[in-house]
């Protein structure tokens, strides 16, 4: 009986021990954490220098195959990049390009207070390139003497107004055309914001037959404001002068561009050259400011 009792107690102890022992539970593995790689972007100075040199060389090769004299300048208000050839050559005539100058000069003199007739003349001069309207406004502003004073006022040192009644004989350089556009965009010369908006607005709404030229640099959706000039030169071997300048603005860029030509065999050849230069610039401009990527410092300074 005693042996049976001891055996029973052993069985109970063994059973109790088994029942009280809990299964081991391993801790759950933590979820995988994705660590973002820290990368910093820096301007690629060497790459930018090479890209700009290549573009300038390619434009030079293109111009070497084109007739006449061709000069150009481009400045980006966003990146600050400037390119050009013959930027300070100031003997090329602007022809109808001077019509913007005349309107700006009259606005500066009148503190923006143009009457209804003058506003109509300004619209016809810029949007339609109406020569008769320009004749009236040239006389109203005071001709070449008044224009010389205006050019000095806005810092155009390489622009000379046409003599007498010939406003179309005004000569200018690409660098001065860029300076003129900067005044329209950023201010100066006594022009109010409303004055500048008026002129740029007219340049942005030229008639379709006036919209050629530096507009070839525009991407889809870019805003374009321009003025073109073209004229036969019967006393210069029957050649033509053709020019175009304006603003082409859109995401990541705000280009001020001027392309001027003379000694062209015809207006068509001049237009083709102007648009060829503008197209090369517009297509390749974004590649002129490359960046390089590097890992962030592992021990940044506090």
Is residue 23 situated within a structural domain? no
Is residue 8 situated within a structural domain? no
Cα 253–chain centre separation: 4
Domain of 246, in residue numbers: 40-290
For strand 39-43 and strand 82-85, is the pairing parallel, antiparallel, or unpaired?
unpaired
Is residue 147 situated within a structural domain? yes
Measured CA distances, 25 to 16, 20, 32, 147 (Å)? 21, 15, 21, 93
pLDDT at site 88:
97
Neighbours of 275 (CB within 10 A): 19
The DSSP element (H or E) to which 233 belongs, if any, is strand 223-233
Number of domains in the chain: 1
pLDDT at site 294:
76
Token digits of residue 124:
């016809």
Is residue 14 situated within a structural domain? no
Residue among 130, 138, 73 nearest 101 (CA): 138
Query: Is the torsion defined by CA of 268, 182, 288, 60 positive or negative?
Result: positive
Is residue 264 situated within a structural domain? yes
pTM of the model: 0.84
Is residue 153 situated within a structural domain? yes
Cα 49–chain centre separation: 19
What phi and psi values does residue 206 have, to the nearest 5 degrees? -65, 155
The CATH number that applies at residue 65 is 3.40.710.10
Cα 43–chain centre separation: 19
Token digits of residue 102:
């005349």
Is residue 128 situated within a structural domain? yes
Question: pLDDT tens digits for the chain (302 residues)?
Answer: 444 444 444 444 444 444 445 555 555 556 665 656 787 877 889 999 999 999 999 999 999 999 999 999 999 999 999 999 999 999 999 999 999 999 999 999 988 889 999 999 999 999 999 999 999 999 999 999 999 999 999 999 999 999 999 999 999 999 999 999 999 999 999 999 999 999 999 999 999 999 999 999 999 999 999 999 999 999 999 999 999 999 999 999 999 999 999 999 999 999 999 999 999 999 999 999 988 777 877 665 55
pLDDT at site 16:
46
pLDDT at site 112:
81
Is residue 300 situated within a structural domain? no
pLDDT at site 291:
81
Q: Residue for token digits 């309207």? A: 133
Please name every residue paired with 239 in a beta bridge, in sequence order, or none if there are none.
Answer: 233
pLDDT at site 32:
61
């Amino acid at each position: 009986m005693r042996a049976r009792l001891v055996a029973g107690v052993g069985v109970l102890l063994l059973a109790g021990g088994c029942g009280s022992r809990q299964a081991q539970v391993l801790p759950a593995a933590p979820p995988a954490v994705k660590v973002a790689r820290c990368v910093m972007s820096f301007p690629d100075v060497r790459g930018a220098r090479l890209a700009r040199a290549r573009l300038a060389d390619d434009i030079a090769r293109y111009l070497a195959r084109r007739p006449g004299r061709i000069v150009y300048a481009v400045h980006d208000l966003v990146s600050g990049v400037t390119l050009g050839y013959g930027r300070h050559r100031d003997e090329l005539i602007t022809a109808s390009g001077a019509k913007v100058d005349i309107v700006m000069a009259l606005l500066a003199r009148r503190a923006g207070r143009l009457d209804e007739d003058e506003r109509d003349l300004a619209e016809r001069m810029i949007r339609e390139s109406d020569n008769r309207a320009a004749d009236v406004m040239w006389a109203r502003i005071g001709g070449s003497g008044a224009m010389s004073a205006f050019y000095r006022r806005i810092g155009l040192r390489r622009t000379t107004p046409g003599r007498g009644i010939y406003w179309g004989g005004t000569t200018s350089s690409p660098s001065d055309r860029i300076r003129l556009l900067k005044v329209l965009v950023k201010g100066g010369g006594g022009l109010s914001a409303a004055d500048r908006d008026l002129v740029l607005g007219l340049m942005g709404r030229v008639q379709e037959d006036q919209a050629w030229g530096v507009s070839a640099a525009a991407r889809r959706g870019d805003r374009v404001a321009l003025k073109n000039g073209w004229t036969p030169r019967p006393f210069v071997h029957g050649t033509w002068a053709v020019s175009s300048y304006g603003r082409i603005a859109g995401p990541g860029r705000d280009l001020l561009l001027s392309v001027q030509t003379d000694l062209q065999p015809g207006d068509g050849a001049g237009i083709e050259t102007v648009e060829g230069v503008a197209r090369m610039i517009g297509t390749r401009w974004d590649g002129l400011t490359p960046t390089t990527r590097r890992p962030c410092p592992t021990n940044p300074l506090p």
